[in-house]
Each structure stands twice: as structure tokens, then as C-alpha cells.
Amino acid sequence: MRIHKSTSVFLFLTLTMVLTAALVGCAQAPQSAEDERENAVTQEAQEAQEAQQPSSTISDEVPQSQGAPAIDSRAAEFEVDPARTQWTFEAPQTKTVYLTFDDGPSANTQPVLDILDQYGIKATFFVTGINPDYLSMISECYRRGHTIGMHTYSHDYEQVYASVDAYWQDLGQIADVVRQQIGYVPCFIRFPGGSSNTISANYTLGIMSELAQEVVNEGYQYYDWDASCGDGAVHTADELVEATKADTAYGYQSIVFLMHDGAEKQTTVEALPRIIEYFQSEGYTFAPIDRSTCVPHHGIGN
Ligand SMILES: [Zn+2]
């Protein structure tokens, strides 16, 4: 009887801890895919602008990729491997924020890297192939200790979500680019629009449900986000800082934080130091995504 009582108490406590961890941890209410949706609207404008940008804006100091780069120790840990099926869904012990930058590399990637270096912070870049002149920045991000994840090659929703095969073709294209830049294909991905996007329903009904399962079966893991600076739409730096505070007011233990280093995101660069200092003042430390990062998944809407 006594044993049963103890067992019940133990089970109750365990359940309470798990539920608490889920609530305070990374299993938070799904964010809307609004940021990414709004971003898609500005995609055309971005591309038009990018077409006018000279390719010479990359610093001469940035090493250009020449042939297959040397594979470092992170390769063994981060390379996609269908045999590795363990992922973390528990919040870390200490308050941690994972800054993530989507839609680059672009002309804004270099200033983002310099700011991160100034603060001694490592982050994660979910890269695309939409700015061919800046692809060498992928290896530069990696060389400086940041994690490289794959976002999409084209970032064209109509194309990417035309079919399951079309998605894999697009992912294969960005995988080829990333392999050229860092020597291997990483397991970390982020769906265009996040897994909760409903834009994909315009092209293929149910595709997100299917892809969410398939990518994991193939050894990838998709990382949505817990909070955002709101730069999916056009905002001033002041507004981005305020949006950051509003979206993180719950004080989550683990925050995978969505930002963009795409071609039109100068105000994100401008706001970045204040966003970093805000998280520091709230007691957060910064980390790049790795296989031990608490995986945030949105609710799938298509
Ligand atoms: Zn994106």
C-alpha cells in the first residue's frame, strides 16, 4: 500500500514536471506563419532589388569556396543520417535563445555576422539559394562557428509546394549548395512558411502533413520557431525591438527565435544589437542549434 502511494506520488510529480516543462519549455503555442507569409509577399520585390545589387559588396577577406572544403568535427554530429532518430523536445536547464536567420545569405549577412562576433554569439542560418552572388557567405557563417540549416533553394512557394517530389527537388538543390560550402549536408531544416503554413494548400492539399513525416524519416529535423522579431513585414528597428519584447513576454526557457537576413532586412541588422541586449538583460544565453536543441514544432495546418 505504501509502495503504491509512493509510486502514485512519484508518477504524479513526474507528470507534473513533464507538463510544466512542456508549458515553460519549447512546446509552446504555435506561432502563426504570418511572418513568413508576409515575407513571401515581398519576395518579388526582394528579387528585383537583388538583381540590381553588385556582387562586389562581399569583403575581399571572405574566403571564396574552392572545391570541397575540409570537413570539421561538426560534420559527424550534424550530417543528415536516417539512422539517428533521437531528437530533444525538452527545454534546457538554463534560459537559452537560439537566434535563427532565414532567407539569406544576402548583403545583410556580413553585418549580421560582425554584430554576432562583437557580442561573441553563435547563431543559426537557414539558408537559401536566391542570392547566387552571396552563396560563399554560407561557408563564412560556418567558419565563424554558426550552424547552417537548409531553408529552401528557390523560396518560391508555388514551386516548392507543387508536389512532394517538387519539395524534395528544391531541398536537394539547396543541399548541393550547402555541401559545396561546408562539405556535408546538415540535418537541420526549416520549411518555407514554417510547418504551420497554409499557403501550401493552394498548391497541394495535405503536403505539410506528408513532408513533416518524410523529412524526419530521411534523417532531417525541421525547426519552426517559438517567437519572432516580426521582420516578416516591413518594420522599423524600434518596432522590431518592441515586437521582440511582446513576443517573448512569457519568458520561455528555450526560445528558437525567428529573424531574417534577406536582402531587404536592413532594419533587422539595425535592431539586432538591441535585441541581443534585451535577451541578455532577461538572463538568456545564446546558442547555435545542434542535435540537443529543444525542437519547436508548430501545429500543421495543411
Ligand atoms: Zn523564408
Ligand 1 centroid–CA 214 distance in Å is 20
Confidence of residue 48 (pLDDT cuts 50, 70, 90): very low
Confidence of residue 235 (pLDDT cuts 50, 70, 90): confident
Ligand 1 centroid–CA 152 distance in Å is 8
Ligand 1 centroid–CA 7 distance in Å is 48
The whole model's pTM is what? 0.80
pLDDT at position 193 is 97
Q: What is the mean pLDDT of residues 30-50?
A: 43
Residue-wise pLDDT for 66-78, tens only, equals 445 556 889 999 9
Ligand 1 centroid–CA 258 distance in Å is 10
Ligand 1 centroid–CA 113 distance in Å is 19
Asked if the model's pLDDT at residue 170 lies above 70, the reply is yes
The domain locations on the chain are 28-51+74-286
HEC-encoded secondary structure of the chain = CHHHHHHHHHHHHHHHHHHHHHHHCCCCCCCCCHHHHHHHHCHHHHHHHHHCCCHHHCCCCCCCCCCCCCCCHHHHHHECCCCCCCCECCCCCCCEEEEEEECCCCCCHHHHHHHHHHHCCCCEEEEECCCHHHCHHHHHHHHCCCEEEEEECCCCHHHHCCCHHHHHHHHHHHHHHHHHHHCCCECEECCCCCCCCCHHHHCCCCHHHHHHHHHHHCCCEECCCCEECCCCCCCCHHHHHHHHHHHCCCCCCEEEEEEECCCCCHHHHHHHHHHHHHHHHCCCEECCCCCCCECCCCCCCC
pLDDT at position 70 is 57
Q: What is the mean pLDDT of residues 33-41?
A: 45
Ligand 1 centroid–CA 177 distance in Å is 17
Please tell us whether the domain made up of 28-51+74-286 is placed in CATH 3.20.20.370. yes
pLDDT at position 232 is 85
Ligand 1 centroid–CA 36 distance in Å is 6
Ligand 1 centroid–CA 65 distance in Å is 24
Q: What is the mean pLDDT of residues 79-101?
A: 96
Ligand 1 centroid–CA 273 distance in Å is 22
Average pLDDT of the chain to the nearest whole number: 84
Ligand 1 centroid–CA 221 distance in Å is 17
Provide the percentage of residues in the chain whose pLDDT is more than 90.
Answer: 73
